[in-house]
Amino acid sequence: MKKLIFLLVLSVLMIGAVWAQGAENFENHTLSGTTYVNGSFVGSNNITWTYVQVTGEQTYPIENKGILLRRSDAPSSIKSSTVSGGIGSLSVQMRKAFTSTGDRQIALYINNTWIANSQTFGAPSGGDTTVHTFSVDNINITGNVTIELRHITGNTSNRQLVIDNLTWTGYSGGGTPTVSAPTFNPAGGFYTTAQNVSLSCETESASIHYSTTSAEGPWSDYTSAISVSGATTIWAYATKDGMVASSVTSATYSFPVEVTNIAALRASATGTTVYKLTDEAVLTFQQTNRNQKYIQDDTAAILIDDATGVITTSYNLYDGITGIVGTIGLYNGMLQFTPTQNPGAATSTGNTVIPEVRTLASLTSADQGKLIKVTNVTLDTTSGSFSATAQSITVTQGETTGTIRTFPATDYSNTVIPSGAVDLVCLVGQYNTTMQISPRFLSDFSTYYDIPEDVVTTVGSSDVLITGGPANIVPEGVIPPVNNGSFTASQSMVLNLIGDGPWNITIDTDALWGAYHRSGVWTEVANVGGFITFEGITAAKDMDLPIVLGDEDPTLPVELSSFTYTINTANLLVLQWVSQSETNLSGYKVYRNSVENLETALLVSPLIDATNSASTANYQFVDEENLVQGAYYYWLQSLDLDGTNSFYGPISVNYVLQGGEAGNPVVPLHTHLKPVYPNPFNPIAFIGYFLTEAAPVKVLIYNARGQIVARWDNAPALEGMNRVEWNGNDLSGSPCGSGIYFVKMLTEGKVYTQKALLVK
């Protein structure tokens, strides 16, 4: 039947003495189902048809296969590749699809220039099988052309219609031909850099005229590319002797207002102004609901609300995104960023965002979108379990009551609401005047601890900061005896360290000395700048750690300033230690073990006599045993004349055989962050690190509250030694105050930490 109709159409065209240039019945497409898609297919005459938001039509056919257009805002359309020979006239069949009320209408564009609109049809509700014909005569455009049919009704409401049996004639010399409208390269749109816009016309030898003032001119003759660097509309038309001038066509070029950070973005005006965030922001959460994403930088955070799915790139949590473009607006008190273009691939991955520890009472609108942590809060468990949909739950912290607003379809949906006190990582939201917090994942809920990780906590008369894991205070914990019989503790505590470690413990105290007890050994640390810091405490599992503070060294009678090792020319391990002072000391012995356990360590040295000097003394011991490849740990024992003793260490050695032969130990180089020098410092701190091979490096400096105060996102990253220098100023250029700062180096998915003390 379709072949017969096609022959009839050709017959009609032949009667009019104008030969058909081409026809398309859409039989070659493979579209099916009800999903609207973008794509292309090759049709008749080897013409490629590109379509936007359409599907194949079998339920409401005109004849066999057709193309179903959705609505105007999609925007549903179908467009040909280049058709040679110009175009004289065009005809296409169309009909209503589905039963929704409302007019249907399409428009014809030739060479991206509007030619004519079809009649409207299909407004009443219910089915309508009427097939309508949209015909346009006297188009008369010469040269190569493109044919496009656009859906122009419905806006955001579906107004589905089907098209089929498209035919057109080439330009055969009848009537007065019309010059093709000029085209723009690049096309109008949003750009982030200046553009040189070229104008061209398919009509050979046509003259192009343009204006940047209005569609009425004044007009200039086009001779070379037009430079555009700000918001600009270019109008253009083309002329040629003996032909009708083309219609005026235009292209608008827009350039977003650039803001460097999220704080500046949040301070900008809401409305239709398009902004570009030039600095990188880190993704802290995303969900399928409205394609929402939360991003944060060192200054602030904001919610991206992307209901129409403009951002098509897939990102992972903590990816860095640069060049986000869009508008900002308020939704019930919540500032939202609506993207207008896809920012493209992530510019970094695996970033670290440390939640800022806050109280419920302290939250304001400026905190919207931030990743924070609230500690020791209690949730209302009346409903029993979290809902799979968004849900409001009362939360309390001390005397403050707040609201948890859950995200829908999370991994904590339908799980039991935890009872008792918890710490909670969450995002800050707002509904009208009410501040809200929203946990992202089940892992955002954690047990409350007496001393949470990375939170300065008052214990007795001191403030304690622990990294590497939280801790609980052990009531009436046992304090082992110290070596110094005259030592009196001004404060003591036993901490149960929880997690995997290693732990660093910083104590803000006036005590001159502190020591912790582990594996039968007291390790002492002197007060520097008002802080005692125990670093690199490790354990195979959670452990109890006794700590004492006082004004004397609890581990005397010997005061060591170093305990290290080197390799001599015979490739043997040489242990070296330096004592600052010695009193009533018999001497030293060295112990070795292949595991970090002093109790099973072997004595490998004779008694090494002490000098008992009030000044510095240097010692060494050469381990001449033929060791096998592996890790070794060494302890130094000091023996007092009255029979008491102390242990120092362990120091660890990774003993590696070279060439498969014993006796050739090699100390392998490894990627590491060196201690800050000098420490304490004022005002310059040198932060050195070693890389076994070149790799991207990021260096961050945090204050005791977990806030980033300095950063190097692209730190030197050459193989070997590298260094950055910190002048003690924060990100705004203001001097930081005295106190402890934490240095983190991130490279190849690993994190290395050191501590620095700024003393003014």
| The token pair that represents 610 in the structure block | 């002490």
Q: What span, in angstroms and rounded, lies between the C-alpha atoms of 635 and 625? A: 16
3-state secondary structure of 600: helix
Q: Quick one: the chain helix, strand, coil %, rounded to 5?
A: 5, 50, 45
Pairing of strands 275-277, 257-259: parallel
Q: Sign of the CA dihedral 381, 383, 384, 390?
A: negative
What is the distance, to the nearest Å, from the Cα of residue 618 to the centroid of all Cα atoms in its chain? 52
**Around Cβ 179, how many Cβ atoms within 10 Å?**
23
Antiparallel, parallel or unpaired: β 434-438 and 400-405: parallel
Distance CA(688)–CA(735), nearest Å, equals: 22
Of the CA atoms within 13 Å of residue 97, those in its CB half-sphere come to: 26
Q: Reply yes or no: is the peptide bond before residue 481 cis, omega within 30 of 0.
A: no
The DSSP string of 403-471 is EEEPPSS-TTTTSBPPPS-EEEEEEEEEETTEEEEE--SGGGEEE--SB-TT--EEETTEEEEEESS-E
The amino acid present at 302, given as its one-letter code, is I
CA dist 606 and 552 (Å) reads 30
Distance in angstroms (rounded) separating the CA atoms of residues 140 and 171: 6
Q: DSSP E strands: which ranges in 287-370?
A: 293-296, 301-304, 320-321, 324-331, 334-341, 356-357
SS3 state of residue 265: helix
Nearest to 632 by CA among 651, 646, 647: 651
pLDDT in tens, 529-563: 899 999 999 876 678 999 999 987 787 555 666 77
Give CA–CA dist 170/156, Å, rounded: 36
CA distance 179 to 406: 61
- How far apart, in whole angstroms, are the C-alpha atoms of residue 284 and residue 275? 21
- DSSP for 605-637, please give it: S--EE----SS-EEEEEEE-S-PPSEEEEEEEE
Cβ neighbours, 10 Å, residue 477? 15
Compute the distance between CA of residue 758 and CA of residue 740 in angstroms, rounded to an integer: 6
d(CA 351, CA 346): 11
Cα–Cα distance between 257 and 278 in angstroms, integer?
A: 10
**680, burial (CB in 10 Å: exposed 0-12, middle 13-18, buried 19+):** middle
* E strand residue ranges, 43-103: 48-57, 66-69, 77-80, 89-96
**Closest to 754 in 3D by CA, of 677, 697, 691, 671:** 677
CA distance 591 to 363: 55
Cis peptide upstream of residue 218 (ω within 30 degrees of 0) = yes
- Chain position carrying tokens 């040295």: 605
The burial of 362, by beta-carbon neighbours within 10 Å (0-12 exposed, 13-18 middle, 19 or more buried), is given as exposed
In the chain, the amino acid numbered 185 is N
Phi, psi of 541 (to 5 degrees): -155, 180
Contact criterion met (CB below 8 Å) for 524 and 514:
yes
For residue 657, what pLDDT is reported? 54
Residue 419 CA: distances (Å) to CA of 382, 394, 437, 578: 10, 13, 18, 54
What distance, in Å, lies between the first and last C-alpha atoms of the chain?
A: 93
pLDDT the model gives residue 312: 95
**Unique residue bearing structure tokens 């305990």:** 563
Sheet hosting strand 739-747, strand order edge to edge = 708-712, 698-702, 739-747, 750-758
Strand order in the sheet with 573-582: 558-567, 573-582, 617-623
The rounded average pLDDT for each run of 10 residues, N- to C-terminus, in the chain (760 residues) is 33 34 88 89 91 89 91 92 90 90 93 91 84 88 91 91 91 77 87 91 92 94 94 93 86 91 96 92 96 97 95 97 94 95 94 94 97 94 95 95 96 94 95 97 91 89 93 90 77 92 94 88 86 88 88 68 70 78 80 85 87 77 77 84 72 64 47 81 85 90 83 89 89 90 86 84
Q: At a CB cut-off of 8 Å and minimum separation 6, what does 173 contact? A: none
Q: What type of residue sits at position 350?
A: G
Pair of tokens at residue 77: 């359309």
At residue 138, the pLDDT reads 82
Token output for 493: 């505590």
Contact between 701 and 726 under an 8 Å Cβ cutoff? The reply is yes
Contact present, 590 and 576 (Cβ < 8 Å)? no
